[in-house]
Amino acid sequence: MQATPALNETRLPRAVLKVSNAIKAHIEARNEPKTDPADPNAPPIESSAGNANPVEPKPPAADPRESDPAYWKQRFDVTAGVLRAERDGRKADAEGFRQQILELQGQIQALQATQPTGGTIDLGQFFTPEQIAVLGEEEATAIATANLTTVRKAISEAVEAEIKPLREAAKTSQVQQAKERKEKFTDKLAEHVPNYEVIDASDDWKAWLAEEDESTGVERQALLDTHVGKLDAVKVANMFRAYLKAKTPQPPPLTPNGTGANGGEPPSAPQSAEGLSVPTSAEIKDFYKRAALRKVTDNERVQFEARLKLRAPR
């Protein structure tokens, strides 16, 4: 026997229940939070087989201008133009600061010329005759002197407050200009001698500078200091070149003895009266290689030069 339904329970037709359930499912689906497919934190979309298929982003296309020398030259010209404009602007500001300082100095001199530095004070500039009669000449003079002192002090402080920032700005501008001149000098020197910094740090270069210059009779270090003080990059570069030329070993002279068939070697290795033999090409190459590395003693050098003279044409 079936239970009797509750009094407040009303049975609905199946069609009504079906429509009601469809509306309820539609509302629930609409209220569920949606995932943005473009969101990088969204989970990957799974296929029917259950495997994730993430979409790999395409790498950005390479800019064809990066391999174009004309493009980089244009970039360089633009940057150089901006730096040049900024440098010219700083020069104009420094010139304006100097002009303001000159004007303020002229105003100071004018104020100092109009103010009495001593002697009798004109009381008529400060008091009426009646006030002088009431105060007395001595009291009026004391009051006028105190006022002048206060006014002079206030003027001096005001002028100093105006001049001080201009003076500091002009000083900063001078330091910056000196720095720019030094950078321009080093850049030009690097164009002539790219490895000048390496050479300048070597002991051999310092020893060469301590010697006397043959053409002037002056120590080379003194000449270098003069050229650097004048920021003459060309003359400094010439000294570096002279050093490199003096320290570069010279190749041995070629002897036209017609020995091309046997690789340039003499047909025989004659010996001198002292028993010295003619050095071979391999020995000459090895000697100059070791000499460049400063591994040749004085005795070896003398003996090698004596052997080298045997290669002279007969």
Nearest-angstrom CA–CA distance, 251 and 306: 15
Per residue in 140-151, pLDDT (tens digit) is 888 888 888 888
Contact 53, 139 (CB under 8 A): no
Nearest-angstrom CA–CA distance, 177 and 205: 30
Same domain, 181 and 203: no
Contact 194, 121 (CB under 8 A): no
In a domain, 76, yes or no: yes
Which is nearest to 301 in space by CA: 293, 291, 292, 314?
291
- pTM score, whole prediction: 0.36
For residue 15, what pLDDT is reported?
64
In a domain, 121, yes or no: yes
Same domain, 209 and 159: no
Q: What is the DSSP letter of 59?
A: P
Per residue in 240-249, pLDDT (tens digit) is 999 998 888 7
For residue 175, what pLDDT is reported?
85
- What are the residues facing 46 on neighbouring strands? 52
Same domain, 133 and 181: yes
Same domain, 238 and 297: no
Identity of the amino acid at 140: A
Same domain, 172 and 237: no
In a domain, 33, yes or no: no
CA distances from 286 to 254, 262, 270, 295 (A): 17, 20, 20, 11
In a domain, 29, yes or no: no
* Beta strands, E only, 31-91: none
Question: Rounded to 5 degrees, what are φ and ψ at 46?
Answer: -95, 140
Higher-scoring residue by pLDDT: 81, 5: 81
Question: Rounded to 5 degrees, what are φ and ψ at 212?
Answer: -90, 140
Residue 302 has pLDDT above 80, yes or no: yes
Same domain, 117 and 198: no
Same domain, 84 and 175: yes
Q: Nearest-5° angle of CA 269, CA 275, CA 278?
A: 30
Q: What is the DSSP letter of 35?
A: P
Identity of the amino acid at 39: D
Per residue in 149-184, pLDDT (tens digit) is 888 888 878 878 877 787 787 778 788 888 899 999
Same domain, 217 and 113: no
Same domain, 143 and 167: yes
Residue 7 has pLDDT above 50, yes or no: no
Reported confidence tier of residue 254, pLDDT bands at 50, 70, 90:
low
Nearest-angstrom CA–CA distance, 280 and 142: 106
In a domain, 65, yes or no: no
For residue 39, what pLDDT is reported?
52
In a domain, 212, yes or no: yes
**Mean pLDDT within 254-273:** 48
Nearest-angstrom CA–CA distance, 88 and 96: 12
Domain coverage including residue 279: 275-314
For residue 293, what pLDDT is reported?
82
Higher-scoring residue by pLDDT: 149, 258: 149
Same domain, 203 and 242: yes
Per residue in 48-107, pLDDT (tens digit) is 444 445 566 666 677 777 777 777 777 777 887 787 777 777 777 777 777 777 777 677
For residue 165, what pLDDT is reported?
82
Q: How many domains does the chain have?
A: 3
Residue 230 has pLDDT above 50, yes or no: yes
In a domain, 262, yes or no: no
Same domain, 76 and 177: yes
Identity of the amino acid at 139: E
For residue 11, what pLDDT is reported?
56
Query: How many percent of the chain have pLDDT more than 70?
Result: 70
